[in-house]
Each structure stands twice: as C-alpha cells, then as structure tokens.
Structure 1
Amino acid sequence: MNGLFVTEKITPKCPDFNPDDCEPGTERYDADGCCKICEPKTCIVLKNTTHVDVNDCKSIHPIEVTSCSGHCGTQSMYSMEKNSMMHICSCCQEEKVSHRQVTLKCANDSEVVHDYIYIDSCTCTARQCVD
C-alpha cells in the first residue's frame, strides 16, 4: 500500500465437515491444504437393529429397520429465457419397499402381529423446491 509491503493474514472459512457424511476413503484436504473435504455419500439404505414398541407391546426379538440417507443434487441457476432463478431439487427417499411382519408381545402376555415397511432401495428423487 502506498509503495510499502503490508502483511495480511487471511483465514479461510471452511465448510462444515462431518466424516459420517463422507464416502469411506475419500477424506482429504482441499487444494489449498486448509479445509477437510470428501466425496459425500450418495443416497443409500441405512440399516439399524432395534426392538419395536407399539401400544405397550414390544417385539420379542430385535428387528432390522431401514432408512434412506445421503446427499442428492440441488442446483440454483439463472435462466436468461425466463429472466428468473431456476431451482432443481432432489431428495434421498425410498425407491423400493416391502412389507414385513413382526410378532409383538404385550404387557398382558398376549401376542400381536405388527406390519411395517422395510426399505429395499433408496434413490435421489426430483422434488418441487420450496422458495
């Protein structure tokens, strides 16, 4: 400045980083070597084993329950043709499901059969973006 050298400290603002959101083995530092980045998990089926509790009845054995999790593409871009912003959104949700049953034992020692939905596969599905 004004013919003089001035030292300036620049601290980069890194995006939030959660290793649980990364495809295994893809964690690395960005090109500047400052921020941790990775390839985000795509939309996948997550499995968890738990007991089911419904109306004071509990599954005799733990069962496998499923959910969809992962990142899907979203995009905002300006359209010259429409003279407005265009938004493209998709979310990770079930693609194929099956119906399963589990036997529950109730507090009064009776047994009931409970139906539940099991997710077989997940996919990124187009959705209307909320402005």
Structure 2
Amino acid sequence: MECQVGYWLIVSELDGKCCPEYKCEPKRVCVHKDIEYQPGASVPGSECQNCTCTNTMDSNSSLLKIVCDVRKCEKNCEMGYEYVKINSHECCGSCVQTNCVLNVNGTKRLLKQGETWSTPENKCYEYTCIKSHETFTVIISHTVCPAFQQSNCQPDTIQTAANGCCKICVEKEKACKLVSMKTRIKHKDCWSKEEVDVPYCEGSCNTFTKYSAGAMQHSCTCCKEARYSNRTVDLQCPNEKVVPHTYIHVEECGCSHTDCTTAAGHPARKRRSFTLL
C-alpha cells in the first residue's frame, strides 16, 4: 500500500488476524504541488502572494493549513526616481531614474534631461543634466572670466555680462604700450626660417581738438617707438642662398608730439527749396 504525499504508512499487527492492517495517517506538514513543507516554512504562491505553512490543522485534508497574504509592492522611490511596472505578468514594478538630482550646499533640486541651471548667487557655474544609456548625470561647466580691473573703467559703466557671470565695463583709453609679436620676416623673396620677435607700439595718446581764443586748438600725440635697436636675422632665399637682413626691434614705446593735419574747411550747406503743388 502507498500513501499520498504528506501521509505516513502505519502497519499494525493484530492478534487473531493473519494479515497486518495498513493505514495512512497525516503528518504535521503542509503539502503544495506534491511537495511537503514544515510548519513556518515559506510556500511558493502566485506572483503577488506570500504564503506560509502554519501549525493550524486544515479540516478538509487533515494536514497543516497554508495561509497566503497579498504581497505589498514598495512604491516609495527616492528623489529623481519613479515607480514603473514594465512587465504586466510581474506583481511589482521597480524604481526607475527619470531625472538628475543636484545637491548644492545641502539643497536638492531636480533637473530634467538637457536642462541647465545655475544658482542665483553664482552664475559662473552651470549644471546640466545628461542621460547616458539609463543613467542620468550632472555635468558642471565653469565660466572663467577675463581679468577685470575696476580702476580701468569709466564711471558708472560697470555691469554684468549677458552670461550673468562676468563683469564688464566701458574701458578708459588704453595707454600706449609695447606689444610683443612673433612673425617671419620677409624681404623681397626671402624669408626667415623661424619666427622672430618683432614688438610694436599700440595704444592711445592724449590727442584733442578744442575751441580756444577764437580758434580751434589742435594737440596731437601718437604712440610710437621711444627706444629701439637694430637686429640681424638670416633669410632663406629661393635659390637656397642665405642672406643677412637688419630690422628694427622696438624696445620701448611712448607718446610723442606730432603735427596735426589741418582740417579742410567745410563749405556751407545749400538749403533746398521745395515748391508745393
């Protein structure tokens, strides 16, 4: 004789009887899909159930009873994530990242994909949210402002540039100064093999025209070399000949007076006359 899963086979030898008696008695187990489970053990259920083998007797089967609870899905996601159920056959979904989470000075802020944001206090730093595959990342860009000297600005002209970061102003006239430059020197068809230092003078000097004592007074100065020297460099010619060439090397610049060109007289404008018809 064979017993079902979850039952013991009991064999009894009775006095006065030739054959023993066979009897199936229930074990203290739960049975699910022909598998025995001990009390307290987890029993597989559906996707949305949590089942457990209890110590309570099931009156219908004389075995222990299986109790199932509905599985609770955790739908509370962190900031920047949303609960999404992708597969319909699954009981619960998962938290999927949908935004960037920016933490600036302990304050968190959400940024959408492609969104750029800066703090009102510091527009020089920009935070941009980008997406790579399924990951959202914040990229930080820093604007480096050019050197700014308030003393070199005209009064009441200091303002913030369009980027909201750098300060700009209307600069005062730039003084005459020496500007360094490197270039290849050419003379006729010959060139220097390498670039050489050829400084030059650039900037403004105090030049003005004003009315004084019944006439226009002109004062002209120009930015020009104040000290220079002659230097020699070898030039390579097309015929492979190397020739020396002397050029002027400016060492110091300054403002020097010069003659102002007399402005030509302006002829009187003729008034146009119109006849109304």
Quick check: 1:31 aligned with 2:156?
Answer: yes
Q: Report the Cα offset of residue 106 of structure 1.
A: 1.1
The structure-2 alpha-carbon separation of the partners of 1:56 and 1:88, relative to structure 1 and needing over 3 Å to count, comes to: same
Residue number in structure 2 paired with 1:76? 209
TM-score (norm 2): 0.35
The structure-2 alpha-carbon separation of the partners of 1:24 and 1:87, relative to structure 1 and needing over 3 Å to count, comes to: farther
Q: Report the Cα offset of residue 78 of structure 1.
A: 2.1
Q: Distance in 2 between matches of 1:31 and 1:104?
A: 52
Residue number in structure 2 paired with 1:129? 260
The equivalent position to 1:67 in structure 2, one of 190, 197, 200, is 200
**AA paired with 1:43?**
C
Residue number in structure 1 paired with 2:249? 118
Quick check: 1:54 aligned with 2:187?
Answer: yes
Write out per-residue CA displacement over residues 82-124 of structure 1, whole angstroms, 9 at most, x where no aligned residue: x211111111011111000000111111100000001111111
Write out per-residue CA displacement over residues 20-57 of structure 1, whole angstroms, 9 at most, x where no aligned residue: xxx96356575266894112221111111111122221
Q: Distance in 1 between matches of 2:256 and 2:211?
A: 22
Contact 1:59/1:104, CA 8 A, preserved across alignment: yes
Residue number in structure 2 paired with 1:87? 218
The structure-2 alpha-carbon separation of the partners of 1:39 and 1:33, relative to structure 1 and needing over 3 Å to count, comes to: closer
Unpaired runs of 5+ residues, structure 1, are: 1-22
**Count of aligned pairs between the two proteins:** 107
Q: Report the Cα offset of residue 127 of structure 1.
A: 1.3
